[in-house]
């Protein structure tokens, strides 16, 4: 199977918290993302409920990350 590499940008605070939670489960961030993608394919949709507020928060993170990169 051909593999691709993806790059994910997120706030360090989020990365640190999620890494700690995943480590307690014996998972890496890569493991969790692979599980997410597999479940998305299996269900044919995102495997959890989310709201418009959730999407707005993610978009704020993206904007902050982009703004920080532009300041460099």
Give domain limits for the chain. Answer: 12-70
33-42 pLDDT, tens per residue?
A: 999 999 999 9
Tell me what pLDDT residue 71 has: 62
Q: Using CA atoms, how far apart are residues 51 and 55, in angstroms rounded to an integer? A: 7
Tell me the pLDDT tens digit for each residue of 49-67: 999 999 999 898 888 877 7
């Amino acid at each position: 199977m051909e593999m691709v590499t993806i790059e994910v940008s997120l706030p360090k605070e989020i990365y640190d918290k999620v890494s700690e939670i995943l480590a307690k489960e014996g998972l890496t961030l890569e493991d969790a993302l692979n599980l997410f993608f597999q479940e998305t394919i299996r269900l044919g949709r995102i495997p959890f409920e989310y709201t418009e507020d959730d999407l707005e928060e993610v978009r704020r993170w993206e904007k902050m990350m982009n703004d920080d990169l532009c300041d460099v």
